[in-house]
Structure 1
């Protein structure tokens, strides 16, 4: 991959492959993932084995993709949580525990990816529903981002941040760190998007352009969130 070509990055909460029509349809989600055609894709609410169906299975078997699972819950039918799939080589990765006592377990995936002439830090996450929970989780994420400064050439943070309040402290802290407002269109609910829950930040911020959602009729049915997509110029 030539370094002059922008990377396409995306985040998509797939809602366990259960669409707004109530149908469980992993194949439909896979078709949307293929349509997004991202070089780096963060997924949330992923069930890695649902009665024998694994939405990530075809990507795990493909030599073109690297798949990192970040389960937060272990259920009888399989694991549930985050995932990161990428066409770039994975140099290193680890999971960051974002769980806050009394709330659902949460985590983030931090990966270092190889790109011609540089190293990219990618963090993919799904934050909690409580404002207090999100404040604690963003503090943890910012601590990790600040620690990694100097080890990488660019940082990308993306996922479902569940932040309904545009001027809430978690968003303000993230805007301040990245030097950007993390521009994104509304992604939730997918049929009539009103809220900017799914976001992409890049440092340096000028490298992120063309942020948009995939607003096809299939995307509106496949999940209660729309995918958010951006171009990153390295």
Structure 2
């Protein structure tokens, strides 16, 4: 069975420069992806000042506005302030059977969370984790350890797993830890380093040792250079992974999105 997923840091629905409202353009662009699952970061649940400043600002939270009538939605509120709040969200074409938001804030100046939603894709429960890690390396390391502990505790070892979002891991040091402890692979490492057949033939240790890091460049949007956004997987075959660098994406947010096409081997097409 095929599954289309995307991950996108939407910069609270405003442009990277000038803070112009871009939420309507984002809605149209995200709908055009025809994705089954969309992992979103910096989702504006409420912002009273922007609602006053921009006449077209949606009345609903951005997660509900983007989901519309086509997707189910889970929202994890992380940062709360006097005039609103924002966090992570998951849009799903399939039913969301459970959700929990784990607070992994490392200090008072950054409120971060891990949104865990279980999505029922036909007969298979897919565990989805929406991530937006901190700006400091020490914080990211602690947050990744919290993620690992959460997955080991709450996710069956045989369950299909997707971890996607903004890892802020510009020096690409976190993948080793995730690979070793969770048995996941990153979508672009699969596409760029192995064919699917050779990856299945080799042992995990052989695959890990031979791996060359090749994560996607997604930031800044107008000239993507840093590899901040990731899609880690377990229990899937990766058919395609692309960075969407062209219009309209490079003028909407400060990140560009990743689109990944997957196959669940045990499910019929």
Provide TM-score, normalisation by structure 2. Answer: 0.78
> 2:241 maps to what in 1?
211
Report the alpha carbon displacement of residue 229 of structure 1 after superposing the two structures with TM: 1.1
> 2:195 maps to what in 1?
none
Distance 2:32 2:144 in 1: 31
- Given that 1:118 and 1:152 are in contact with CA atoms closer than 8 Å, whether structure 2 keeps it comes out as no
Distance 2:77 2:83 in 1: 13
> Which digits, 9 at most, give the CA deviation of each residue in 1:144-195, with x for residues without a partner?
11223437630000000000112x2x22101323342442421001111111
SS in 2 for 1:145: helix
Find 1:41's aligned residue among 18, 34, 38.
Answer: 38
Distance 2:155 2:22 in 1: 40
> 1:82 maps to what in 2?
88
1:209–1:61 distance in 2 versus 1, CA, 3 Å: closer
Which sits farther off after the overlay, 145-154 or 131-140? 145-154
Distance 2:168 2:137 in 1: 9
SS in 2 for 1:208: strand
- Given that 2:4 and 2:259 are in contact with CA atoms closer than 8 Å, whether structure 1 keeps it comes out as yes
Report the alpha carbon displacement of residue 57 of structure 1 after superposing the two structures with TM: 3.5
Does residue 26 (structure 1) correspond to residue 23 (structure 2)? The answer is yes
> 2:220 maps to what in 1?
189
> Which digits, 9 at most, give the CA deviation of each residue in 1:55-85, with x for residues without a partner?
33434551x3111111111233322111111
- Name which one, 1 or 2, has greater alpha-carbon Rg: 2
> 1:120 maps to what in 2?
126
Distance 1:56 1:102 in 2: 25
Report the alpha carbon displacement of residue 49 of structure 1 after superposing the two structures with TM: 2.5
Find 2:11's aligned residue among 15, 18, 21.
Answer: 15
1:136–1:221 distance in 2 versus 1, CA, 3 Å: same
Find 1:200's aligned residue among 231, 242, 248.
Answer: 231
Report the alpha carbon displacement of residue 103 of structure 1 after superposing the two structures with TM: 3.9
Distance 2:64 2:138 in 1: 36
User: Structure 1 stretches of 5 or more lacking a match?
Assistant: none
User: Structure 2 stretches of 5 or more lacking a match?
Assistant: 52-56, 189-214, 265-269
Distance 2:171 2:259 in 1: 21
1:110–1:85 distance in 2 versus 1, CA, 3 Å: same
SS in 2 for 1:56: helix
- Given that 1:94 and 1:110 are in contact with CA atoms closer than 8 Å, whether structure 2 keeps it comes out as yes
Aligned residues: CA RMSD: 1.8
Structure 1 or 2: more helix by fraction: 2
Paired positions, count: 226
> 2:62 maps to what in 1?
55
